[in-house]
Chain A
């Protein structure tokens, strides 16, 4: 009886999948691997973005304080209060402004701002990648 059933079921021909199924599977695994790396990157970049955002806020406050303490703010306000004198001695005025500019604080603040922008740009790109792949998966019913 077992031999008969063996003979019977041996005649049951398996269907052949499409020629590209094997490649599709390997590519899909590769894509999932990339998605996993991107998700990890999003988590790390988000953390750095939060830290650098607070860093930027701190550096911005630092710049504000530095602008006041160096006298830059007061010199700059002369443009509005003593415009005629400024235009007469504009070269001296420019040098004074440059001398009182808190360069270090500005450089730090601008650097923090660039970092925040850069991290944000990377995050947006990675999030777009994840969302577009999730949409494709939803189409296929997974």
Chain B
């Protein structure tokens, strides 16, 4: 009996330290525990991605569940030469879009026309440091969240994936199914808009 528990503990420890792609291979060879490890690794970050994308924490859990069901259904088709993290975020994004379509919400900002140009944003990039007052705010997280949520969803998600989820622009372009130039442009416009909001706030 002790040997079985020791095997389980060692097996769990080995799995917890394996790469995502290795875990997918374990799952394909019959190790269901590998899927649980992957779910545990990503469920919080996917939950936060979904809640920010749809702007509703109440449905974020349902969307997160749906995302992982889709991951499980398609895991045998996943190409282990690609990055699992990018793939799961792609599924999460598509699941969010499906939800918003069913809800008949328009995920794009009214300030962004069909070309993707924003008439309210200058192309001038502010490279000056952020005001120090920002960093001493006790409610900095809520303050930042509020200002980020006011951005068009496409800008918001690019910025968050870049800074919070640590994707590079190429990975974000795969997730969003857009060209790298479009992603870079959205990032730039989004950061300009965010800077204006942060700089314009009276502390």
Bound pair (A, B): yes
Q: Are B129 and A15 in contact (CB under 8 A)?
A: no
User: Which residue of A12, A16, A28 has the most chain B CB atoms within 10 A of its CB atom?
Assistant: A12
Q: Which of B48, B73, B102 contacts A14 (CB 8 A)?
A: B48
Q: Which of A6, A9, A28 contacts B68 (CB 8 A)?
A: A28
Judged by DSSP, the binding face of B is: helix
Which residues in chain A, 7-32, are within 8 Å of chain B measured between CB atoms?
Answer: 7-9, 11-18, 21-22, 24-26, 28-29, 32
Counting from the closest, the 6 A-B pairs by CB-CB distance are A9-B163, A13-B141, A17-B47, A14-B48, A11-B140, A25-B68
A15 to B148 alpha-carbon distance, docked (Å): 15
Q: Are A32 and B43 in contact (CB under 8 A)?
A: no
Determine whether B44 belongs to the interface, using a CB cutoff of 8 Å to chain A.
Answer: yes
Q: Are A12 and B43 in contact (CB under 8 A)?
A: no
Query: What range describes how many residues of A lie at the interface?
Result: 20 to 34
Q: Are A15 and B69 in contact (CB under 8 A)?
A: no
Besides A9-B163, A17-B47, 13 other CB < 8 A contacts?
A: A6-B163, A8-B135, A9-B164, A12-B145, A13-B141, A14-B44, A17-B61, A17-B64, A18-B61, A22-B39, A25-B64, A26-B39, A141-B59
Report A14 CB to chain B, min CB distance, Å.
Answer: 5
Determine whether B157 belongs to the interface, using a CB cutoff of 8 Å to chain A.
Answer: no
Contacts of B40 in A (CB 8 A): 22
Contacts of A142 in B (CB 8 A): 62, 66
A interface residues with partner B (beta carbon < 8 Å): 1, 4-9, 11-18, 21-22, 24-26, 28-29, 32-33, 140-142
Determine whether B183 belongs to the interface, using a CB cutoff of 8 Å to chain A.
Answer: no
Q: Are A15 and B62 in contact (CB under 8 A)?
A: no
Q: Which of B43, B163, B191 contacts A22 (CB 8 A)?
A: B43
Report B130 CB to chain A, min CB distance, Å.
Answer: 5
B interface residues with partner A (beta carbon < 8 Å): 35-36, 39-40, 43-45, 47-48, 51, 57, 59-62, 64-66, 68-69, 72-73, 99, 102-103, 127, 129-130, 134-135, 140-141, 144-145, 148, 160, 163-164, 191
A16 to B191 alpha-carbon distance, docked (Å): 26
A25 to B144 alpha-carbon distance, docked (Å): 30
Q: Are B59 and A17 in contact (CB under 8 A)?
A: no
Contacts of B60 in A (CB 8 A): 17
Closest to A1 in B: B127
Report A105 CB to chain B, min CB distance, Å.
Answer: 48
Given known A-B contacts A15-B51, A17-B43, A21-B47, A4 and B129 have beta carbons under 8 A apart? yes
Closest to B49 in A: A14
Q: Are B65 and A25 in contact (CB under 8 A)?
A: yes
* A/B interface sample: 11 pairs, CB < 8 A: A4-B129, A11-B140, A11-B141, A12-B164, A14-B164, A15-B57, A17-B60, A17-B61, A18-B61, A25-B39, A26-B39
